[in-house]
Structure 1
Amino acid sequence: MKRIIIVFAFLAILASCNSETKTKDNGTEQSDTTIKLETDTSGEVDIALKDITTDEALIATALMAAPEESRANATVIGYNMAGEFVTLKEGSNEFICLADDPNKAGFSAACYHKNLEPFMARGRALKAEGKTFQEIFDIREAEAKSGKLDMGGLGSALHIYFGSETQYNPETSEVPGAQYRYVVYMPFATAESTGLPEVPLAPNHPWIMNPGTHRAHIMISPIPQKKE
């Protein structure tokens, strides 16, 4: 009888140990799974993209065209959401950024040295008058040659940030898939005066466009970065 009681007591203790072990194992597995899920989730979460439908979004994405260290103090101009061409943000440095036009397909923002503003403003004014691209070119050509139009000197830069998407990441202000192109204005420069070809020899190679005219400029189109 005594032996039977001892056996039952031993079985009870063993059952208790097994139960405790299962509880700890389940708790550990649950904890590990939660951490793993959190890790997996944090690595896979996509930031919700937003449409560029506010003046704040226009400003944020326009500034992406400027060098990073110059964005905070750059001026931003362009069409606001009401369709008016205004100064969206006052700045204090040498850069003027042109915001994306909400009424045009795709995305295109630009940022240029303030020395180019007379040239850019004249183009906008002529376009508002209904002039065609060739008419604008010819008028500015004549005015630049006569000295009436200030071209800003040699080497004034234009940064272009463009793409097909019309949404942006509100945390980084980046437009998915957008890429950069750079233009360096060299009024009346030629292939002979610069040593640059008139057509690109390979991707990412500089070349001179509109050589010999007021609009002569060096084109630089970086190769888009591959997504890993």
Structure 2
Amino acid sequence: MKRFLLTIALAGSLMACKNTGENKNEAGESTVSEAMENNTANQPKVNYVPIDSDEALIAASLMAAPEESRDGCKVIGYNMAGEFVTFREGDNEFIVLADNPQQSGFNAACYHKSLEPFMARGRELRAEGKTGPEIFDIREEEAKSGKLDMGKPGATLHIYYGESDQYNPETNEVEGAHYRYVVYLPFATAESTGLPERPVGPNHPWIMNPGTHRAHIMISPLPEDKE
């Protein structure tokens, strides 16, 4: 009889422990779940909207320029009507080429004004229907002959690009956009710069088109973590 009562008491104790453990697990899981829900609820919701006006196009494209220089940049590019225009004149060293609203995604550029002859020549040749390789060969010949001004060595192109054409009207940031930088050093080589001709790892700088008029250093920063 004593053995029977002892067995019942032991079983009851084990059941109580099991229930206590389950209750703790349930309480812990509930706490974690509530914390995750609270964190999600506390995250501000970004109201991304389509770029559907020249004003929005300019504002988003200016993100390609250094923040302290945006107010003084000249801005050019295709407007919402598909016309290539000067949106506004500038008074500093930068020219912003706005995103083309007729193309998918987003791609705006900001470059040192000394690069304008090189950039303008490329736009002119594309308008004539020349292909990428043809444009390269023509500008290579013109740069070597001195006909084409390649700008100041080290002049930089800033690119702000992404797959989305949605932007935040409060910050002018484009959803998921990233930065890339191009430093032009006409006719530079791996030997003259000490840079490799291909990246040795993700986001490492390297020299592209070495030995040509279009030689440039490619710099692709790591995407900013928004979380």
> Is the radius of gyration larger for structure 1 or structure 2?
1
Matched, 1:200 2:214: no
The separation in 1 between residues aligned to 2:165 and 2:193, in whole angstroms, is 37
The answer to whether the aligner puts 1:67 opposite 2:46 as a matched pair is no
Tell me if 1:209 matches 2:198: no
Structure 1 residue 42: Cα displacement: 8.6
Q: For 1:40 and 1:124, locate their aligned partners in 2 and report how far apart those are by CA, in whole Å.
A: 48
* Cα distance in 2 for residues equivalent to 1:187 and 1:153: 9
In structure 2, C-alpha distance between the alignment counterparts of 1:198 and 1:41, rounded to whole Å: 44
> Gapped runs of 5+ residues in structure 2?
1-37
Match of 2:190 in 1: 191
* One-letter code aligned to 2:90: G
Shift of 1:203: 1.8
- Alignment-derived partner of residue 31 in structure 1: none
* Deviation at residue 89 of structure 1 after TM alignment: 1.9
- Alignment deviations for residues 76-124 of structure 1 (CA, whole Å, 9 cap, x no partner): 1000011110011221100000111011111100000000000000000
Q: Does 1:108 align with 2:114?
A: no
The residue number in structure 2 matching 1:155 is 154
Task: Give yes or no for contact 1:203–1:222 (8 Å, CA) kept in 2.
Answer: no
Counterpart-to-counterpart distance in 1, 2:204 and 2:44: 37
Q: How does 1:212-227 map to 2 (within 5 A)?
A: 212-227=211-226
SS in 2 for 1:71: helix
Identity %: 72
- Tell me the residue number matched to 1:139: 138
One-letter amino acid matched to 1:141 = E
Equivalenced residues, count: 190
Q: What's 2:177 paired with? A: 178
State the Cα deviation string for residues 51-81 of structure 1 (Å, max 9, x = none).
Answer: 1111001110111000000001111100001
Distance in structure 1 (CA, Å) of the matches to 2:164 and 2:51: 10
What is the Cα-based RMSD across aligned positions, in Å?
A: 1.6
TM-score computed with the length of structure 2 as normaliser: 0.81
Whole-Å Cα distance in 1 between the matches of residues 183 and 150 of structure 2? 12
Mean CA deviation greater in 123-132 or 200-209: 200-209
Aligned equivalents of 1:42 and 1:111: distance in 2? 37
- 5+ residue gaps, structure 1: 1-38
Deviates more, 1:49-58 or 1:141-150: 49-58
Structure 1 runs of 4+ aligned residues shifted over 4 Å read 39-42
The CA distance in 2 between the partners of 1:45 and 1:195, in whole Å, is 45
TM-score of the pair, normalised by structure 1? 0.80
